C-alpha cells in the first residue's frame, strides 16, 4: 500500500533529522533506511508501520530510537557512522 501524505512527510522528517545528527547527506540516510536487511527496509518495516506511535514523540526520542535500531541492524557502526 502506498504511503499517505503524513507518512511521507514523517519519513522525510526522519531522514533530514538523522542526516543532521549523523552529519551526512540526506541521500546517505535514505540509502541506509531503504537497504533491505532480509526483513525489509527500516523505512518500510519500521518507520512507516509505526508512524502513529512515533510521530507523537519528540524529535530527540525519534532520532535516538532510529539510531539505536540502525546500530542493531548494522546500518551504523558503534560510533554511529554509516557502514
Q: So where are the chain's domains?
A: 5-72
Which pLDDT band holds residue 39 (cuts at 50, 70, 90)?
A: confident
With cell 518500510, the residue in question is: 44
In the chain, what percentage of residues exceed pLDDT 90? Answer: 76
Distance (Å, whole) CA 60 – CA 18:
10
Question: What per-residue confidence (pLDDT) applies to 40?
Answer: 85
Whole-prediction pTM? 0.90
| C-beta of residue 17 within 8 angstroms of C-beta of residue 62 | yes
Q: How far apart are CA 1 and CA 75, in angstroms?
A: 25
Amino acid at each position: 500500500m502506498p504511503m499517505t501524505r503524513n507518512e511521507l512527510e514523517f519519513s522525510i522528517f526522519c531522514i533530514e533529522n538523522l542526516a543532521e545528527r549523523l552529519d551526512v547527506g540526506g541521500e546517505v540516510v535514505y540509502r541506509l533506511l531503504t537497504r533491505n536487511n532480509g526483513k525489509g527496509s527500516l523505512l518500510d518495516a519500521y518507520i512507516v508501520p509505526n508512524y502513529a506511535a512515533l510521530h507523537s514523540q519528540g524529535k530527540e526520542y525519534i532520532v535516538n530510537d532510529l539510531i539505536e535500531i540502525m546500530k542493531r541492524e548494522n546500518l551504523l557502526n558503534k560510533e554511529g557512522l554509516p557502514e
